[in-house]
Structure 1
Amino acid sequence: FATDPALRKRWMHDPTPEVSLTILERLCGEIEVYAAAVVLPGINDGAVLEHTCEWLEDRGAKGLILMRFANETEQGLILGNAPIIKGQQVQSVESFRDTVTNLRKKFRMKISGTPLWDPEIGSPFTIRHEPALIKKLP
């Protein structure tokens, strides 16, 4: 979500965010860590998200997958229990794609987005670059 302890405590209900971050830091030093974060516009995007990326990369994380927050079915929510957070702003697909792309340019670690945006391979339509695979499709 974020490496800001106050945000982790409030939004993730983490009673000991400093301990969680210390453990994450130790893991980054011992294993290949690929982190994930749901991006809430106005909460953990912008400078907060850049700081999170920097913190992870500085500690050796290999990657970060960003998830676009959805509050309604029309925005991509699949469980039908909307709204998750009343009044929470939702980032457009295009803006989210641009965020992922811009962060990927700034950091060495792998940064991709879901649903379906990977600036390195052109996802979600990367199969278009594989004519042999396309021929195998029914």
Structure 2
Amino acid sequence: MTFNRYICFRAILESIGAIACMLMALIGNNLLGVIVAAIAALLWIGGEVWGMTVFRRQNPRRDELSDMHQSAAMQFALVSLVGILVIVGFIYTTLNLIDRSIVHIIPPMLLPALAMCALAISDIRYLWLEHDAGTEGDDED
């Protein structure tokens, strides 16, 4: 398995976790959302440990272009997450100012959903940058 294929599987798992958390935020069943998110997180952690042990030994990634792509992807995900959090905060603040009779509370599962979504965005952006670069090597999918 190549590093890029591993990143693709990781992005899929993170997307499933984000969708599960978002559905639980919309449905309102936070216990089920926590269980699904915990399972996704444990699979993600297991994959990270496996990836670190396998890819450090077999296919070390030390080229500058890949490092630049990882850095750009993380910065993109961070800026996206901060932007979304600002928008969500602004919406809920505005709702509370408009209708003072009902307190609008941000669903607890929304924050883990946004965090997992940011991780997936980072991985997808990295794969996009790697694909656009057209680097030749054994990690190209």
Provide the TM-score with structure 1 as the length reference: 0.22
Structure in which a larger fraction of residues adopt helix: 2
Which protein has greater RCO, CA pairs closer than 8 Å, 6+ apart? 2
Highest Rg: 1 or 2? 2
Structure in which a larger fraction of residues adopt strand: 1
